[in-house]
A and B are shown apart, each in its own frame.
Chain A
């Protein structure tokens, strides 16, 4: 039996929710709008909402002046590389914990989670020093490794909770039919696990893309991704609102789109399966 909902009530809910939703989204909307204005229009008083001369000029300027493509490419490599390597390392671990659990499985999972809780600033200097010694400072390789490691616990956890949902009987049936461990993983487990793996990749790509502690502290000119590139706007010269907006829009647009696909995985991934 469902409760009867009056149209009046539904209308009030709709107006209220849309109002709040637009208010929360407004900073992003405003940034996108500002990116299409000229610098003078961007600071116009009263602010111009929709009726201004739309221009793509800022996008061109940002691309030309700042070598934007290189930062973008660094972001893609760092986020993509760290996620892929992390998933490759995590799949076997999550598989074995989900299907061949032992007494220690729970402890290992919780311990992995605890490494995620280590505050980055507490180990900043050691990592910095190791990076200098190994010549990894301001390299994409270095960042791929560090970001892979900080996200590895989340990747293992997410994969573990997805693998847990695959019925073990199917694997046993495959084993009975004489499938080797390798065949079992490639032909039985993988096809069933693909949606979970894809979700894991998606969420961790987003987390890696937005990571802004190690990327700010371990890069300079060469390996800086978009997080660090945007930070360079914190001490600007002259009028820059429209250009800042254009750079920001380009940096967040791909992730906003990916993010909208990953709402459900976000809950599971970031609460370590505690809320589903």
Chain B
């Protein structure tokens, strides 16, 4: 049993981490909230800063850029989730099978996750998707087709492709870990009872994976909502690839409309928190176990 002495020592040892994170959370949050209720354009001395109530919140939502950016965000997040989860489950099932050189294949599959976002975005943009010199253009021409101008003709698809390539390893690795914890006797029993492979998948494997899939969805959603570098170096938000995150970035740093951008930031924080609540519930349950 812990003594009173070790309890107070424990509190002291926790203090630096808690205080730092508290400051890191509260100070910027309070500032963002404060700015969001004010008219504040640091680059425009002619506009007097002042209190505007909920004006920024209303203007952010009613601006013509808002709904398209929400739509783009949803398509990119949804598309990348769909691709990474479906392919991730299939790939994890495959990697769980007996084969030669499994370790090497795992290494090959996991590699994209370790590539820094700016590198993967620029390599895809130039070396693969460039309409003149890109590898896809060579391939299209080899089949006599007209090369696609990926980043302006199919910009959202291109970004989903890049982001999915980065996150597929993460989904695969976590789902593989979950599959490996499946009791093989259960599968063998179902096999002996004559269950065909498809029903084995839908009635045993998929239910077993449901928790891992939920976790992958939640964690990826949080990261995908704030995808930034991939858009920054490919389209710079042009061609309808402006996500909510990118819109706020432009309002705050590019046009220095801090009040408006901060209101957008508060929306983004609320959105992320809705997802976070679900994730925390799962993680919290796991702590009790």
Question: Which A residues lie at the B interface, using CB under 8 A?
Answer: 1, 3, 5, 9-10, 13-14, 16-18, 20-22, 24-25, 27-28, 30-31, 34, 43, 45-47, 89-90, 92-93, 95-97, 99-100, 102, 106, 108-110, 112-115, 117-130, 149, 152-153, 156, 181, 206, 209-210, 212-213, 216-217, 226-228, 230-231, 233-234, 240-241, 244-245, 248, 251-252, 255-256, 258-260, 263, 266-267, 270-276
Contact = CB atoms under 8 A, between A and B. Distances in A.
Nearest to A10: B98
A266 B173 CA distance: 9
A181 B9 CA distance: 8
Interface in B123-178: 123-128, 133, 135, 138, 141-142, 165, 168-170, 173-174, 177-178
Nearest to A2: B184
23 contacts: A3-B191, A5-B98, A16-B94, A31-B123, A89-B20, A93-B14, A96-B10, A96-B11, A97-B10, A109-B287, A117-B273, A121-B249, A122-B29, A123-B265, A125-B32, A231-B232, A241-B127, A248-B122, A251-B116, A252-B114, A255-B115, A259-B114, A263-B106
Contact of B117 (A119, A212, A233): A212
Given A27-B120, A153-B21, A212-B117, A124 B252 contact: yes
Contacts of B97: 9-10, 13, 17
A160 to B, nearest CB: 9
Interface centre among B13, B113, B165, B286 (most CB of A within 10 A): B13
Contacts of B127: 27, 30-31, 34, 241, 244-245
Given A1-B188, A122-B32, A271-B174, A230 B122 contact: yes
Contacts, number: 307
A4 to B, nearest CB: 10
Interface in B232-250: 232-234, 245, 248-249
Grouping DSSP codes into helix (H, G, I), strand (E, B) and loop, the B interface class, with mixed when no group exceeds half, is helix
B212 A251 contact: no
Contacts of A1: 188
Given A17-B99, A20-B91, A260-B110, 5 more contacts: A106-B288, A118-B272, A120-B226, A121-B245, A126-B27
With most chain B CB atoms within 10 A of its CB, the pick from A21, A43, A153 is A21
Interface residues of B, number: 107
A10 B97 CA distance: 8
Nearest to B258: A125
A216 B109 CA distance: 28
B225 A25 contact: no
Contacts of B282: 274
Interface of B: 2, 6-7, 9-11, 13-14, 16-18, 20-21, 24-25, 27-29, 31-32, 35, 91, 94-95, 97-102, 104-120, 122-128, 133, 135, 138, 141-142, 165, 168-170, 173-174, 177-178, 181, 188, 191, 211-212, 215, 219, 222, 225-226, 228-229, 232-234, 245, 248-249, 252-253, 258, 261-262, 265-266, 268-269, 271-273, 275-276, 279-280, 282-284, 286-288
Given A31-B127, A117-B273, A149-B21, A46 B138 contact: yes
Given A25-B109, A96-B13, A256 B122 contact: no
A216 B228 contact: yes
Contacts of A106: 284, 287-288
A209 B113 CA distance: 12
Contact of B2 (A3, A47, A100, A258): A100
B112 A27 contact: yes
A112 B25 CA distance: 10
B107 A252 contact: no
Contacts of A9: 97-98
A30 B258 CA distance: 42
A233 B122 contact: yes
Contacts of A210: 114-117
